[in-house]
Amino acid sequence: MQQILDATAPQPPVAEPSAPKLFDPASSQAPAGDGPQGAHRSPGLRALRNLPGLRGLHTTSVAARVAQVGILGVLAVGVVGWVSADKTVTVTVDGQARQVHTYAGNVGSALQRAGIAVGQHDVLTPTAAASLHDHDTVVLRRGRLLHLTIDGQQRDIWVTATSVAEALQQLGLRDSDAYLSASRSRPLGLGDNSLDIRLPHTVQVLADGQVHPAVTTAATVSELLGQLGITLGPTDQISVPLSSLPTEGESIGITRIATSQSAEPTPIPHQVVHQKDPAMPVGTSRIVAPGNDGVLMSTYALTLVNGQVTEKKLLGQAITVQPQQGVIADGAATPVASATSAIGPASSGLNWAGLAKCESGGNPHSVSADGRYYGLYQFSLSTWASVGGSGRPSDASPDEQTSRAQILLNRGGRGQWPVCGKYL
């Protein structure tokens, strides 16, 4: 890279070499010669005599004096032209102005003579080939290499800006909400400069059944989640890499994956055993021990996706409550003779079918409207138990109901059935 003049250091005015001092015709001092009047000759005349071609001429000669005067006129004209070619020019390098005296005819030559080099990426106004006049202004803006990263995309750009803010303006990046890796007021040096820019993007995150909209300049999706206060569990999944840069209009999905355990009880049916009871008539039974179901506890490993069980694996089982056996006593005694066999209609004149028809319509499973009387003969539960019955009369067989009715009849007569007893 070409050596660049430090535009910030103060520079002295640059001037071309001065013209040789010649005889001033307007001077009142008489020219001095080689003779006795040499003290009265001017220094300019002595300089002319020493010029090539005049050296050796005798100043007292008329011809020599004429030649001297002619040559003096020619040189005077040259000196006037030389003086008129001198220009004072203002040169501004990156905003720092200085004055330069030059005899150059164009901008490029003037800068070269002043020791100001123009780089390939510098901007010069006017151009180097432009003619130069007295009191002109020349503006030179140094090129600066900017390593620019915009939303993760890197490129190298030459700018003539002297600050980050001016560089952004030159690049047309005027979004005040953009993230900048450096302050806008930071100056840009003549060496390499780096700048990271992240433009704001509108995105949304779908998590936990909700939509989380955001306008962000985050450098990564992980940083975006932090801004939204969304955390990821060790087994959660996300639709894009956490290290990726959020892009405009992007929709990021989070799948919650969790594991847990559950314990589920299952009843264990209890067994029922039957025991003979000689004190009870055949065909009758009663519950001695009701029995209870046991509990089998099963433990499962669950996998849940967004709160829904997607996998269930059995880990183990254990009986937490033992089942209790039920016991039912079954009658083993000889049943009491039925109404028709013990005291059949012919001998007793009793009509059990007529009584049953009046009490229950002949239905052994009948239950009264108020729920207090049961079976063929509409026993109450207390009366049924008093004649040795168990459970509900309507659940017993017709023979057992008739046997129990016979016992009740023998105990209290037809009055046990105030309304229908007359049908016996």
Strand partners, 255: 237
Residues 42 and 55 in one domain: yes
In this prediction, residue 61 carries a pLDDT of: 55
Residues 383 and 412 in one domain: yes
Least confident of 141-150, 279-288, 382-391: 279-288
Residue matched to tokens 């409550």: 321
Which of 101, 118, 141 marks a domain boundary? 141
Residues 215 and 248 in one domain: yes
In this prediction, residue 308 carries a pLDDT of: 93
Give CA separation, 281 vs 48, 135, 246, 284, 378, in Å.
172, 143, 88, 6, 20
In this prediction, residue 84 carries a pLDDT of: 52
- Helices H, strands E: what count in the chain? 10, 18
Residues 251 and 299 in one domain: no
Residues 52 and 67 in one domain: yes
Is residue 6, in this structure, part of any structural domain at all? no
Residue 5 confidence (pLDDT) above 70: no
The CATH number linked to 388 is: 1.10.530.10
Is residue 186, in this structure, part of any structural domain at all? yes
Average pLDDT for 368-379: 92
**How far is Cα 221 from Cα 211, in angstroms, rounded to an integer?**
16
pLDDT tens string 82-110:
445 789 999 999 889 999 999 999 999 98
Closest residue by Cα to residue 252 from 237, 266, 273, 262? 237
Average pLDDT for 387-415: 91
Is residue 231, in this structure, part of any structural domain at all? yes
pLDDT confidence bin for 4, thresholds 50/70/90: very low
Residue 46 confidence (pLDDT) above 80: no
Q: What is the mean pLDDT of the chain?
A: 80
Residues 340 and 392 in one domain: yes
**How far is Cα 410 from Cα 402, in angstroms, rounded to an integer?**
12
Least confident of 13-27, 292-306, 336-350: 13-27
* Domain boundaries, position 391: 336-423
Is residue 20, in this structure, part of any structural domain at all? no
Average pLDDT for 224-231: 95
pLDDT confidence bin for 63, thresholds 50/70/90: low
Residue 406 neighbours by CB under 8 Å, 6+ apart: 336, 337, 338, 339, 342, 343
Give 334-341's long-range contacts (Cβ < 8 A, gap of 24+): 334/281, 334/282, 335/281, 335/282, 335/283, 335/399, 335/400, 335/403, 336/281, 336/403, 336/404, 336/406, 336/407, 337/403, 337/406, 338/399, 338/402, 338/403, 338/406, 339/402, 339/405, 339/406
Residues 314 and 270 in one domain: yes
The CATH number linked to 120 is: 3.10.20
- How many domains are there within the chain? 6
Cα 406–412–413 angle (5° rounding)? 70
Residue 424 confidence (pLDDT) above 80: yes
In this prediction, residue 280 carries a pLDDT of: 78
Is residue 125, in this structure, part of any structural domain at all? yes
More confident residue, 33 or 274: 274
Nearest-10 crossing angle of helices 352-360, 398-412: 100
Strand partners, 267: 295
Which of 300, 330, 360 marks a domain boundary? 330
Residue 179 neighbours by CB under 8 Å, 6+ apart: 196, 197, 198, 217, 219
Residues 417 and 355 in one domain: yes
Which of 271, 302, 330 marks a domain boundary? 330
Average pLDDT for 196-213: 94
More confident residue, 179 or 60: 179
Q: What's the distance, CA 269 to chain centroid?
A: 55
pLDDT confidence bin for 331, thresholds 50/70/90: confident
Residues 246 and 279 in one domain: no
Q: What's the distance, CA 174 to chain centroid?
A: 25
Strand partners, 215: 202
Give CA separation, 22 vs 26, 42, 54, 103, in Å.
12, 9, 14, 20
Average pLDDT for 139-152: 92
- Whether the CB-CB separation of 224 and 268 falls below 8 Å is answered with no
In this prediction, residue 278 carries a pLDDT of: 80
**How far is Cα 223 from Cα 245, in angstroms, rounded to an integer?**
9
**How far is Cα 333 from Cα 282, in angstroms, rounded to an integer?**
5
Cα 318–323–329 angle (5° rounding)? 165
Residue 367 confidence (pLDDT) above 70: yes
Residues 352 and 412 in one domain: yes
Residues 132 and 153 in one domain: no
Written as six digits, the tokens of 355 are 């009584």
Residue 251 confidence (pLDDT) above 80: yes
Cα 33–36–39 angle (5° rounding)? 60
Is residue 169, in this structure, part of any structural domain at all? yes
Is residue 29, in this structure, part of any structural domain at all? no
Written as six digits, the tokens of 387 are 């004649």
Written as six digits, the tokens of 118 are 């123009």
Give CA separation, 283 vs 12, 24, 147, 367, 402, in Å.
137, 166, 105, 21, 12
Average pLDDT for 197-204: 93
Residues 154 and 206 in one domain: no
In this prediction, residue 22 carries a pLDDT of: 34
In this prediction, residue 138 carries a pLDDT of: 95
In this prediction, residue 343 carries a pLDDT of: 33
In this prediction, residue 345 carries a pLDDT of: 40
Strand partners, 258: 304
- Whether the CB-CB separation of 189 and 163 falls below 8 Å is answered with no
Written as six digits, the tokens of 73 are 């006129």
- Whether the CB-CB separation of 324 and 289 falls below 8 Å is answered with yes
The CATH number linked to 184 is: 3.10.20.90
Is residue 17, in this structure, part of any structural domain at all? no
Least confident of 96-110, 181-195, 214-228, 327-341: 327-341
**How far is Cα 18 from Cα 26, in angstroms, rounded to an integer?**
20
Q: What is the DSSP string of 145-208?
A: EEEEEETTEEEEEEE--SBHHHHHHHHT---TTSEESS-TTPBP-SS-EEEEEE--EEEEEEET
Residue matched to tokens 């459970």: 391
DSSP β-ladder status, 257-268 and 251-255: unpaired
The CATH number linked to 323 is: 2.20.230.10
